[in-house]
Amino acid sequence: MLSQLAISNYAIVEHLELDFRQGMTAITGETGAGKSILLDALSLCLGERADADSVRHGAKRAELSARFEVADLPEARAWLESRDIDNGECLVRRSVSAGGRSKAWINGVSVTLADLKALSEHLIDIHGQHAHQTLMREETHLRLLDDFAGHSDSVAQLMDLYRQWQQVSRRLKKARDSGDEQQARRQLLRYQVEELDSLALGNEELEELEQEQTRLANAEELISEAQFAADCCDHDEEGALTRLARASQRLEQLPGSDSGRLADILAMLGEARIQLEEAGRELHHYVEGTELDPERLQQVESRLAEVHRIARKHHVLPEEVTALHRRLRDELSELEGGEESLEMLVRETEQARDAWRALAREVSQRRTEAATRMGAEVQAQLAFLGMDKAGFTVEVARRDSAQPDGADRVSFLMSANPGQPARALTKVASGGELSRVSLAIQVVAAQHSTIPTLVFDEVDVGISGATAEIVGQLLRQLGGHGQILCVTHLPQVAAQGHQHLHIEKQAGEETTHTSMALLDESGRVRELARMLGGVHLSERTLAHAREMLDTSQRAPH
C-alpha cells in the first residue's frame, strides 16, 4: 500500500510530505483548493506524462516521490525482482524540469515511463469522477467484466495469441501475393538451370579447352619446329653436340701450362653436353608424341563454340558461365524452398488461429459465468444505494468478427422498474441513476481487485442524503480490507473515513500555495461542519457534525 507521498514545487504545492495508513482516507477541501492535485501528483509519479505547467511558478523543477509497502504484494515484488531492483521496499521518484523534461527512478534505478506504468498496475487503481461517462462504451463493459472475473492473465495471453495469428497471416498474404511472380521466375530458372546442367562445364574446363585448341590447331608447326630443334642438338656434322665435342677435344690438346684454368671450362662443357643430349632426347619424344588430330580439334572447337553461345545468351563472359550456373541454381533452390515455406505459413496460420479460438472459448465461458455473478452483485449494491426496484444484467454475446481480446461483446443492461425489459444503460438511466450505477459497479470491481490501494476521485457526484451515507459505508467497508483514498465533497462520506485529510489553498500577495494536513478529531468536526453549513459555523452545525462523526466511527462495518 501507499505509505508516504512527498511533493515539492508541483503546481501550487511548495513542499508537502504525507504519511498514509491502511483503511479509508477521506480527502476534502473547498472548491478550488486543489483536492485533485494530490491525485494528479500521485498519477504523475506513477508514469503519467508531464509538462512544464506541472512545475510551480518560479521553480526550476518539481520533485515527487511515493513510497509503497510491497512485502505482501507478490506480483509487485516479482516485477521488481525481474529487474533486479527489489531491496525490500518500493520508492518511486519523478523529477520534472521547468522545460518539461522528466526523469524517473525506482529504488534509485533510472527507469522509463513505461516501467512506471507497468509497476503501477500492481500498486494502485484510480477510479475517476467521470467513470460513469465511460459506461457509455461497451469496451469499458468488457474490461470491467474481465477485472471482475479475475482472468487478466488469460486475456493478455489471448491478445498475444491474436497478435501472433495476425503476424503470420500477414506473412502468408504477402507470400501469396508474390506467388504468381515467383512462379514465373521459377519456371525461367528451371529452364536456365537445366540448360546449364546439360552444358556441364567444369571449373577448369574452359582454360583446358583453350589450351588444347591452341595446341591442336598448331600441331603441324609444333612438330616441324621441334624436329628442327632436335636436329640442331644431334650428332650430325653441323649439330650442336658434334661442335661441342670438337671444342672440348681442341681444349684438351692444348699445352699444360694453363691446364688449371681450362679444367673448369672443360667441366662446364661436359655438363653442357649432358644437358644438350637430354634436351635432344626430350625433343624427339615430343615430336613422336605429337600427332595431327583434326577430329579432336573439331570436337574441342565445337565444345568451345557451345560455351561461347551460352555465355552470349546469358550476357556474361565465357569464364563467368560456371559462376552463373551456381548463382541461378541457388536462386532456384531458394524459390523452391519458398513453395515449402508457403505450405508452412498456411500451417502456422491455422495453428495460431486454432490456439486463439481455443483460448477465446475458455475466456468466453468464464465471462459468461462471471457475468451472472457480477449482475447479481451490482444489483445488490444498487438496492443498497436506494435503487431496489432496478434490475441489472451483464449480457455476453458473440461478436461478428474476432478481436484481440476475444470473440465476445459485453453489454450492461438495466431495467429501472419491475416488468420493464432490460435495455442499455444510456436509454434507461438518468444522470443521478447513472452515477449510482457507476459507483455500484466500481465497488463490486474493487471488492474483487488484488490491487492494495484504490483511489476514488469524487465518485459520489450526483448523490446526496441517505444514499451518500450508504456510499460512505461502502467505501469504509472496502477500507477495512485494504487502503482507500477518497476525494469527496459530501460530509456523509467524509465522516466514514478512518482518517481525514484536509486540503486548503492559501493566497498571499504574490504567491498561492496549497497545504494539506491530517485532521485530528476536533479538526474533523470543524471540517464536517463546514461541509454541512458553510463558512460560519454555529454550535448547532458543530453538534450535527460531531454526531455524524461519532455515529460513523462507532458503526460496525
CA distance 290 to 278: 18
> Between residues 251 and 491, which one has the greater pLDDT?
491
Instruction: Give the list of residues 6+ apart from residue 37 with CB closer than 8 angstroms, or none.
Output: 10, 11, 12, 13, 503, 514
243: Cα within 13 Å, side-chain hemisphere: 8
Provide the CA 64 distance to its chain's centre, in angstroms.
Answer: 29
β-bridge pairing 453-457 and 124-127: parallel
Of 31-35, 53-57, 250-254, 269-273, which gets the smallest average pLDDT?
Answer: 31-35
Provide the CA 276 distance to its chain's centre, in angstroms.
Answer: 83
Residue 351 has pLDDT above 80, yes or no: yes
Asked if residue 225 is part of any domain, the answer here is yes
Instruction: Give all strands of the β-sheet with 102-106 in edge-to-edge order.
Output: 13-19, 2-10, 61-68, 90-97, 102-106, 109-111
In which band, very low, low, confident or very high, does the pLDDT at 217 lie, cut at 50, 70 and 90?
confident
Helical ranges in 218-293 per DSSP H: 219-232, 240-252, 259-289
> Are 465 and 507 contacting, i.e. CB atoms less than 8 angstroms apart?
no
In which band, very low, low, confident or very high, does the pLDDT at 200 lie, cut at 50, 70 and 90?
confident
Residue 395 has pLDDT above 90, yes or no: yes
CA distance 52 to 542: 43
Q: SS3 letters for 249-261?
A: HHHHCCCHHHHHH
Residue 47 backbone zone (phi > 0: left; psi -120 to 50: alpha; other: beta): left
> Are 50 and 30 contacting, i.e. CB atoms less than 8 angstroms apart?
no
Q: Report pLDDT digits (tens) over 247-275.
A: 887 777 776 655 667 777 888 888 888 88
Look at residue 129 in the predicted model and tell me its pLDDT: 56
Of 251-260, 377-386, 489-498, 545-554, which gets the smallest average pLDDT?
Answer: 251-260
CA distance 13 to 34: 9
- The residue assigned the cell 490456439 is 355
Instruction: Give the list of residues 6+ apart from residue 466 with CB closer than 8 angstroms, or none.
Output: 386
CA distance 252 to 267: 11
480: Cα within 13 Å, side-chain hemisphere: 11
Helical ranges in 385-484 per DSSP H: 425-428, 431-447, 465-479
> Are 311 and 317 contacting, i.e. CB atoms less than 8 angstroms apart?
yes
CA distance 16 to 18: 7
In which band, very low, low, confident or very high, does the pLDDT at 133 lie, cut at 50, 70 and 90?
low
> Between residues 435 and 247, which one has the greater pLDDT?
247
| Percentage of residues in the chain having pLDDT higher than 90 | 25
> Are 70 and 452 contacting, i.e. CB atoms less than 8 angstroms apart?
no
* Cell numbers standing for residue 299: 570436337
Which of 421, 508, 472, 515 is closest to 26 using CA atoms?
A: 472
β-bridge pairing 483-487 and 453-457: parallel
- Domain span including residue 310: 181-336
> Are 379 and 392 contacting, i.e. CB atoms less than 8 angstroms apart?
yes
Q: Report pLDDT digits (tens) over 69-105.
A: 988 888 888 889 888 888 778 999 999 998 888 899 9
> Are 492 and 548 contacting, i.e. CB atoms less than 8 angstroms apart?
yes
Asked if residue 80 is part of any domain, the answer here is no
> Are 292 and 220 contacting, i.e. CB atoms less than 8 angstroms apart?
yes
Rounded to 5 degrees, what are φ and ψ at 99? -85, -5
- The residue assigned the cell 512506471 is 116
Q: Report pLDDT digits (tens) over 503-516.
A: 887 776 667 777 78
Residue 137 has pLDDT above 80, yes or no: no
Four-residue CA torsion sign, 385, 390, 396, 400: negative
Residue 286 has pLDDT above 70, yes or no: yes
Instruction: Give all strands of the β-sheet with 124-127 in edge-to-edge order.
Output: 124-127, 453-457, 483-487, 23-29, 499-507, 512-518
Count of H helices and E strands in the chain? 19, 15
Element (H, E) at 25: strand 23-29
Please give the mean pLDDT across all residues of the chain.
83
Asked if residue 192 is part of any domain, the answer here is yes
Asked if residue 169 is part of any domain, the answer here is no
Most confident of the following: 43-52, 74-83, 234-243, 369-378: 369-378
Asked if residue 248 is part of any domain, the answer here is yes
Look at residue 65 in the predicted model and tell me its pLDDT: 94
In which band, very low, low, confident or very high, does the pLDDT at 363 lie, cut at 50, 70 and 90?
very high
Residue 131 has pLDDT above 60, yes or no: no
Rounded to 5 degrees, what are φ and ψ at 233? -90, -5
CA distance 388 to 409: 27
Look at residue 166 in the predicted model and tell me its pLDDT: 92
In which band, very low, low, confident or very high, does the pLDDT at 134 lie, cut at 50, 70 and 90?
low
What single letter denotes the amino acid at residue 29?
A: G
Asked if residue 149 is part of any domain, the answer here is no
Element (H, E) at 423: strand 423-424
> Are 104 and 115 contacting, i.e. CB atoms less than 8 angstroms apart?
yes
* Cell numbers standing for residue 509: 500577495
Question: Cα–Cα distances in Å, from 81 out to 76, 89, 190, 445, 494?
Answer: 9, 11, 57, 28, 38
Look at residue 53 in the predicted model and tell me its pLDDT: 79
Asked if residue 82 is part of any domain, the answer here is no
Of 12-26, 312-326, 439-453, which gets the smallest average pLDDT?
Answer: 439-453
> Are 100 and 113 contacting, i.e. CB atoms less than 8 angstroms apart?
no
Helix (H, G, I), strand (E, B) or coil at 507: strand
User: How many domains does the chain divide into?
Assistant: 1
Alpha-carbon Rg for the chain in angstroms: 48
> Are 529 and 537 contacting, i.e. CB atoms less than 8 angstroms apart?
yes
